[in-house]
Amino acid sequence: MLLALLLGVSVFAISYRLLSVYVKTEKVVVASRYLEPYQKITVSDVKVVELPQKGIHPDSIRNAEDLIGSYTICPLLAGQIVLAGHVMSSHNHPGISLEIPVEQRAIFIPADASRAVGGLVNPGDRVDLIWSQRGTGFYQPGDYYGAVTVMDQARIVRVVHDNSGEFKGVVIAAPPETCEEITHYLETGSIYLALVPWGMTGNGMHFDSEVWPGK
């Protein structure tokens, strides 16, 4: 039994050496775990492995150090070979545009703290955008004093402060046609932010006002 085992190991070793002469391998970079789109790549996210040369795509990344700090532009599965088209250089990182769905646009809503829940809003919160025209001549009895809800449950992408830390407004994402309406309302009045309760937005519910990618 022991002799048979030793013979088997010997045959395997000899076969491996013979095959290694004919099967050429090369080092390539693969994802060491699942990576989401637009994720910044760290040292622990990728690793170098050797694979048969004939099975390697010509656009495969060969040096893991070349990827550190770059961003994925598509999902990568654990063990998947990283190609040049899968990543974006950190020098070309476009910022928050990566967080905006292709069917929407980002727009800045200027507001002081008194019109934005005292400035107590954060990225990821949802707010209703309520417009009120400047001046008192517009107000008519029975029309909610001229206030109009421009957009329901808009998600805040960024909160903007100036260099002194003063609250200046928020960036939200909205369909292009809604952005046009918001632009008109901003030119004719003021927009207030009304914070939406978290329980209304965190249950996987679909909102007609926005479609956000799963993250």
Q: Over the stretch 98-152, which tens digit does the pLDDT of each residue have?
A: 778 888 999 999 999 999 999 999 998 999 999 988 765 554 544 555 788 999 9
Residue 80 pLDDT grade (very low, low, confident, very high; cuts 50, 70, 90): very high
**What pLDDT digit, counting tens, does each position of 154-185 carry?**
999 999 999 999 999 999 999 999 999 999 99
Q: SS3 of 86, please? A: helix
In tens, the pLDDT along 21-53 reads 567 889 999 999 999 887 889 999 999 999 888
Token pair of 169 as six digits:
């407004």
CATH architecture of 2-92: Alpha-Beta Complex (3.90)
Domain ranges of the chain: 2-92, 98-200
List of residues 6+ apart from 17 with CB closer than 8 A: none
